[in-house]
């Protein structure tokens, strides 16, 4: 019988039951990422992995995998897997796009509004005993309605964010790898030809792009300097897209007004990171897709992909289908 390794113990019973109907199931009984040597050994013992998007599955693991056939990533991002190594070893990689778009768009606006109106800062101030008389001036916020939102990366999540922005009467501009003229008319959004154009025009800048060689550290000191001094920066992509020390300098020097980030580099963010000393940044623990329903549905999609791959079917969302030629 085929064997599946579930790399966390926190999934819904529906996920385990679905897998156990067809396969042997091993589960890593810790909420932390399994050690590298364990991952290497499991690649020799199991036919499928069900990892989280932060579980590194590198070339050393994949080149030494004597049994592994499919990795059902419970994430839309795939930067945790060495895709060329998986492909040359005939190991199929799948992911879970689409199902998390609304949850991530909701979280984007939660961060946007939090940073704009200093929600978390106000809460921290109360808990620290700083609210001792009525005075709104330390908590003055920025408006969202009528402002310009710049979206970098206009895939499914970026488009969902744009739809929500319309409810706030925001002007939406976007930049992505390809221009989407049909959506410009139907959604009332505008094309920014370059990242610089986007940064210079936007009151809010929100990242929704994958982490690739082209996007790694694309937001650095030069880019933050292009933004308005009153602007708010939001990162819902990957921590590696941003030069984190440059973000600290931009916030500390008031080059930009505020930031709200759901991802850091590394993760978890070290308690020694200077970003944690600033009051004009909100940091959440990579929970953009973490609504209860979305968390479960991503797991179920990963299970469907694994089941299809191991039983001769067609997975819903293959990332490297050419891997099958190398089996």
The whole-angstrom separation of Cα 14 and Cα 18 is 6
What's the pLDDT score for residue 14?
Answer: 87
Q: Based on the domain organization, do 52 and 196 belong to the same domain? A: no
pLDDT at residue 170 greater than cutoff 90: yes
104-156, pLDDT tens digit by residue?
999 999 999 999 999 999 999 999 999 999 999 999 999 999 999 999 999 99
Amino acid 327: pLDDT: 84
Q: How many angstroms separate the CA atoms of 57 and 5, rounded?
A: 13
Instruction: Clarify whether 45 is annotated catalytic.
Output: no
Is residue 92 domain-shared with residue 110, that is, in the same domain? no
Give yes or no for a contact between 260 and 112, defined as CB atoms under 8 angstroms apart: yes
From the candidates 45, 222, 267, 322, give the one annotated as an active-site residue. Answer: 267
Shared domain for 134 and 88, answered yes or no, is no
Beta-bridge partners for 283: 261
Is residue 108 located within the same domain as residue 21? no
**Residue 189: C-alpha distances to residues 17, 182, 233, 255 (Å):** 44, 10, 19, 27
Active site residue 36: no
Kindly state whether residues 92 and 106 are assigned to the same domain: no
Q: Can you say how many angstroms the Cα of residue 225 is from the centroid of all Cα atoms in its chain? A: 24
pLDDT digits (tens, 9 = 90+) for 231-257: 999 999 999 999 999 999 999 999 999
Q: Residue 95 and residue 51: Cα distance in Å, rounded?
A: 10
Of 8, 74, 238, 258, catalytic: 238
Are 132 and 262 in the same domain? yes
Domain finish residue from 249, 266, 283 = 283
Domain CATH code at residue 244: 3.40.50.720
Report pLDDT digits (tens) over 297-316: 999 999 999 999 999 999 99
How far is Cα 148 from Cα 281, in angstroms, rounded to an integer? 20
Q: Do 121 and 256 reside in the same domain of the chain?
A: yes
Number of domains in the chain: 2
Same domain, 194 and 259: yes
pLDDT, position 306: 98
Share of the chain above pLDDT 90, in %: 99
Global confidence as pTM: 0.94
Mean pLDDT of the chain: 97
ω into 323 cis (within 30 of 0): no
pLDDT value, residue 29: 96
Regarding whether 111 and 87 lie in a shared domain, the answer is no
Q: Does 262 lie in the same domain as 196? A: yes
Q: Cα separation of 40 and 61, whole Å?
A: 5
286 is an active site residue:
yes
Beta-carbon neighbour count of residue 13 at 10 Å? Answer: 8
Task: Identify whether residues 252 and 115 lie together within a single domain.
Answer: yes
Q: What is the pLDDT of residues 278-292, one digit of tens each?
A: 999 999 999 999 999
Same domain, 173 and 94: no
Q: Is the pLDDT of residue 89 over 90?
A: yes
Please give the residue range of the domain that contains residue 215. 101-283
């Amino acid at each position: 019988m085929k064997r599946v390794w579930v790399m966390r113990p926190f999934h819904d019973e529906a996920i385990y039951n679905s897998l156990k109907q067809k396969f042997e199931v091993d589960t890593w009984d810790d909420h932390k990422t399994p050690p590298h040597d364990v991952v290497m050994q499991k690649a020799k013992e199991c036919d499928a992995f069900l990892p989280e998007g932060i579980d590194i599955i590198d070339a050393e693991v994949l080149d030494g995998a004597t049994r592994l056939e499919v990795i059902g990533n419970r994430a839309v991002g795939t930067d945790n897997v060495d895709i060329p190594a998986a492909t040359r070893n005939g190991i199929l990689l799948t992911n879970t796009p689409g199902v998390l778009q609304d949850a991530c768009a909701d979280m984007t606006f939660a961060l946007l509004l939090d940073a704009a109106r200093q929600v978390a800062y106000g809460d921290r101030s109360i808990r620290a005993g700083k609210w001792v008389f009525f005075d709104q001036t330390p908590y003055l916020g920025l408006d969202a309605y009528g402002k310009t939102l710049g979206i970098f990366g206009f895939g499914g999540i970026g488009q969902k964010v744009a739809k929500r922005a319309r409810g706030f009467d925001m002007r939406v501009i976007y930049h992505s790898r390809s221009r989407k003229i049909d959506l410009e008319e139907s959604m009332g959004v505008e094309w920014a030809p370059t990242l610089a154009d986007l940064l210079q025009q936007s009151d809010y800048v929100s990242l929704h792009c994958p982490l690739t060689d082209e996007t790694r550290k694309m937001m650095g000191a030069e880019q933050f300097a292009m933004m308005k001094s009153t602007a708010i920066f939001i990162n819902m992509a990957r921590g590696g897209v941003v030069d984190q020390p440059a973000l600290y300098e931009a916030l500390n020097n008031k080059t930009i007004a505020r930031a709200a980030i759901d991802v850091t580099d590394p993760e978890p963010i070290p308690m020694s990171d200077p970003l944690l000393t600033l009051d004009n940044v909100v940091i959440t623990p990579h929970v953009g897709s973490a609504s209860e329903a979305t968390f479960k549905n991503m797991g179920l999609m990963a299970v469907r992909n694994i089941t299809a791959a191991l039983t001769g079917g067609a997975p819903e969302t293959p990332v490297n289908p050419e891997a099958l030629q190398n089996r």
